Amino acid sequence: QVQVVESGGGLAQSGGSLRLSCVASGIFYINAMGWYRQVPGKQRELVAQVTRGGSTFYVDSVKGRFTISRDNAKNTVHLQMNSLKPEDTGVYYCNVVGGSAHWGQGTQVTVSS
């Protein structure tokens, strides 16, 4: 049984930091792991992603502020979010891609101005 479990998130002030973590189990081979963000009325947006080989992608709005990291042996991915802005607010979903895509339950991130 595949499980994708997120932790972290919460409330931060503008300029502050938060760290998201995600662990996947029940998946034999994982290619990409990443984080998506969803806000009301908008489509879910890819924020950051890292491949098994270590290649990374960041949406322009978070470049230089967020860092994604991954431990292949532990099937974990982290998102370190620094210099947070109110527009970073949203529900963050962990996405794990093996033979198919799997999603976590989402974790709320709220940044106050």
* Distance (Å, whole) CA 25 – CA 102: 11
- Give residue 99's pLDDT: 85
pLDDT tens-place string over residues 46-63: 999 999 999 999 999 999
pLDDT tens-place string over residues 77-101: 999 999 999 999 999 999 999 989 9
- Give residue 81's pLDDT: 98
Cβ pair 71, 79 in contact under 8 A: no
- Give residue 97's pLDDT: 96
pLDDT(28) > 90: no
End-to-end CA distance of the chain: 41
